[in-house]
Chain A
Amino acid sequence: MTTIPFVSPRKRSTTSRASDPKIPHLTPEQLEAFGDEMDALRQRLVADLGEEDAAYIRGIVKRQQQFEVAGRVLFYLPPAWPLAVAALSVSKILENMEIGHNVMHGQYDWLGDPKLNSRIYDWDNVCPGEQWKYSHNYIHHTFTNVLGKDRDIGYGILRMDEDQKWHPYYLGNPLYAFLLMVFFEWGVAMHDLEVENIVKGRRKLEENAQLHAAIMKKVKRQALKDYVIFPALTGPFFPLTFAGNAVANLVRNVWAFNIIFCGHFPAGVATFTEAECEDESRGHWYYRQLLGSANITGGRLFHIMSGNLSHQIEHHLFPDIPARRYPEIAVEVREICERYGITYNTGRLSRQLYTVAKKIVRLSLPTPKAGPGREPVAEPAAAEAA
């Protein structure tokens, strides 16, 4: 096995590019060997899936429902309001992250249980699962961190990479990020409408008619449940329940946003150009997933509450393998990375969040030209519209 000499990183910028010298350039042969190792790891995991994984996800569903029922019931006891909100928030976080996100990835399709099947499951969120699966499972997971292809880079609203051309619109970068955090589920729901491409004239409004109808249908039913029926069922406590449900949705939004932004935007995460990914080999795809993702360290409970997206790297390598397996394979993935000289980006939540926040603020201002770099490729349309 060839060991790639580690090139010491230069402290120049906190965003990396695949062409940066600090990122090891693997030869096609090395990439192939690297891909084979990942494939072997994957195969071993797939062969090992079984009863424990089934029991785990069913256990999480049960626990989530207990929190949900507890939350809904505690609204009948006004003094327990904070408890009710906490229980409902936990329920919504578990449902969206460890259950919804992972089930809709097809991680549990092998169980043959329609209730845990990616084609059937829909989550407790205003974004219709059907649309999310397209933009997330296909677009984001296939073209991870490829500028101009992966619409999750800045979500068409933010400037999250130096290679996105600056525009005065981006002076609002921190504000937009804050708003996206507060209204995260709505942002996710709007994501598929590709508003930025409509503004740019790359996409026709008519193309959105169907998507829009599906979103409105989902929004109505979600709102009916959280803001009409459940509050009404608590009679005189209507306003309290209404507010409690809104807070629970907010808590989930803030939590999900923070976990997800730590997945691809901390310092040191690399982005790629379309040219770099042309005719990509399987090995290069794995390599790109690794360089384009970052982990968060934490305890078991933290990992569960993040839907194991705290192991974003392992998730991007093996998006269709039950997320509960990520912590156990992280050790091996890290070891493989070390052998190939690939930086395994991980850190405490506070550290990752800090670098994400710094990036959001820094990129709100124009990036000084630092010598011959890549031409800006992605130019979010919201900027042009502004």
Chain B
Amino acid sequence: MTITQRVLSSRLVAALAYPHGVDRYLEQVNPMWSATEVRARVVDIARETSGEHPVATLTLQPTGTWRGHRSGQYVQVGVDLEGGRRATRCFSISSAASLPGERFTLTIRSAAKGGGRSHAEGVVSRYLVDEAEPGLILHLSQAAGDFTVHESAATPTNNHLLMISGGSGITPVMSHVRTLLRDGYDGHVHRKVTFLHYARSRADQIFADELAEIAAADNGVTVHLRYGAHRFDADELRHLVGDFRDIDTWACGPAGLIELIQDAYADSPRLRVEFFKPPAFAAAGDTDGTITFARSRTSVLNSGAHLLEQAEAAGLTPEFGCRMGICFSCTSRKTEGTVRNVLTGETSSLPDEDIRICVSAPVGSCSIDL
């Protein structure tokens, strides 16, 4: 931590800026100055694949507040979109583990355009891949997530490590492989890494050149690429690595692939998974579905009433005030699903969105942090 950083995050400076926080003042001068918040400037954008769902790798220069990341972790990225709204999504980091303040990369696949349904969901990835330019400032969180590898060159083990990924799920796994190779955890000391990846097609293969290099090099890393309709198959995996349930495995990809892998591994503690799933969308007026109140571990069938009423009917006692959408006392986080604002009729399907539950009726299934 530099002296400036230390001064800026001191209690004295915080007391002077109270109740607003120092960053509110600093960012007015330079968006890359901060005391606690993490922001990053996009310094480079490289196209990985083109086609219907193009992929790009963004290199980010974080503020000095970035604490670094371990391979396999993700970061929350907030983007100020057209219309003044900021949208936030999580992306896995694709570069090798970083130290505080060090640059890192995100590799992002742009969501389908014009699909209507996935419009809201894909807005951040589309913006970052299709419209972002070097110089853009992003609002970040610190790195988080437990999809990490504990082995390193310093670890006195020679465990066989297995990485399985599908589509853009390759990013955290790539971060693992890059970190292991950079830090000297490779075949020279009889440490084996097997990398099995499923891609839609050869053209859609992210990091194709680098994977080819890794495969060709003398490093103990075996790369298996599968394309198109080739689905995950337990027998094939057994043929490749032996009894996989006893091998430390990291798997990341679409929910369908992860389910197959989980079935194959039964309850083996060696399997760690990370998956992304398409958001649940429902047609307007659709009241079938399940409302999940995550914190209270309660689920009810969607009655069509606004969420506050449904929560209360389920025996919950969420905070509320006016019950007419003006006071924001009942604001809660919707983690997934679609809600309709009963005042405006507007529907919204953004994940991790703060909504006023007294004027939000769920459309289909929906999950609320209550």
Contact = CB atoms under 8 A, between A and B. Distances in A.
Question: Do A and B bind?
Answer: yes
Interface of A: 39, 42-43, 46-47, 49-55, 61-62, 65, 69, 105-106, 109-113, 115, 117-119, 122-124, 129, 133-134, 137-138, 141-142, 218, 221-222, 224-225, 229-230, 282, 285, 319-320
Contacts of B269: none
A218 B16 CA distance: 14
Query: 5 tightest A-B contacts by CB?
Result: A54-B84, A138-B321, A112-B86, A137-B327, A106-B328
Contacts of B25: 65, 69
A118 B80 CA distance: 18
26 contacts: A42-B344, A47-B344, A50-B83, A51-B82, A51-B83, A54-B84, A62-B28, A106-B328, A106-B331, A110-B85, A111-B85, A122-B19, A124-B19, A134-B321, A137-B322, A137-B329, A138-B322, A141-B322, A141-B327, A142-B324, A142-B326, A221-B18, A225-B15, A229-B15, A282-B324, A285-B324
A241 B216 CA distance: 71
A111 to B, nearest CB: 6
A359 B16 CA distance: 41
Contacts of A119: 328, 331, 354
B24 interface: yes
A221 B19 CA distance: 8
Contacts of A218: 19
Nearest to A142: B322
Given A51-B82, A51-B84, A138-B322, A225 B328 contact: no
A233 B327 CA distance: 40
A53 B84 contact: yes
Describe A's contact surface by its main secondary structure: helix
A61 B26 CA distance: 12
Contacts of A47: 344
Contact of B326 (A54, A110, A129, A320): A320
B343 interface: yes
Interface residues of B, number: 31
Describe B's contact surface by its main secondary structure: loop
A319 B326 CA distance: 7
Contacts of B322: 137-138, 141-142
B336 to A, nearest CB: 17
Given A112-B87, A320-B328, 12 more contacts: A42-B343, A47-B344, A54-B80, A61-B24, A106-B328, A109-B328, A111-B86, A113-B86, A118-B328, A133-B327, A221-B19, A229-B16
B88 interface: yes
B11 to A, nearest CB: 10
Interface string B1-43: 0000000000010011011100011001000000000000000
B20 to A, nearest CB: 7
B12 A142 contact: no
A131 to B, nearest CB: 12
Contacts of A124: 19-20
Nearest to B84: A54
B208 to A, nearest CB: 36
A50 B84 contact: yes
Contact of B344 (A43, A52, A137): A43
Contacts of A319: 326-327
Given A50-B84, A133-B329, A221 B15 contact: yes
A112 B78 contact: yes
A46 B326 contact: no
B16 A225 contact: yes
Contacts of A225: 15-16, 18
Contacts of A142: 321-322, 324, 326-327
Contacts of A42: 343-344
Contacts of A138: 321-322, 327, 329
B328 A137 contact: yes
B306 to A, nearest CB: 14
Contacts of B15: 221, 224-225, 229
B328 A46 contact: no
B255 to A, nearest CB: 26
A245 B101 CA distance: 38
Contacts of A141: 322, 326-327
A142 B321 CA distance: 8
B220 interface: no
A122 B82 CA distance: 27
Interface in B340-369: 343-344, 346, 354
B344 A46 contact: yes
A303 to B, nearest CB: 21
Nearest to A136: B327
A121 to B, nearest CB: 9
B64 interface: no
Contacts of B82: 51
Nearest to A55: B84
A216 B324 CA distance: 32
Nearest to B354: A109
B54 interface: no
B280 to A, nearest CB: 21
Contact of A229 (B12, B80, B88): B12
A46 B329 CA distance: 20
Contacts of B78: 112
Interface in B41-81: 78, 80
Contacts of A229: 12, 15-16
Of listed A105, A113, A222, residue having the most chain B CB within 10 A: A113
B16 A230 contact: yes
B328 A133 contact: yes
A117 B86 CA distance: 12
Contacts of B327: 106, 133, 137-138, 141-142, 319
A71 to B, nearest CB: 13
B325 interface: yes
Contacts of A62: 28
Of listed A123, A137, A285, residue having the most chain B CB within 10 A: A137
Nearest to B328: A106
A71 B362 CA distance: 49
Nearest to A57: B84
A47 B344 CA distance: 9
Of listed B12, B86, B328, residue having the most chain A CB within 10 A: B328
A218 B19 CA distance: 9
Contacts of B331: 106, 109, 118-119
Contacts of B329: 133-134, 137-138
Contacts of A105: 328
Given A53-B84, A55-B84, A320 B19 contact: no
Contacts of B16: 225, 229-230
A207 B329 CA distance: 19
A118 B325 CA distance: 14
Contacts of B328: 105-106, 109, 118-119, 133, 137, 320
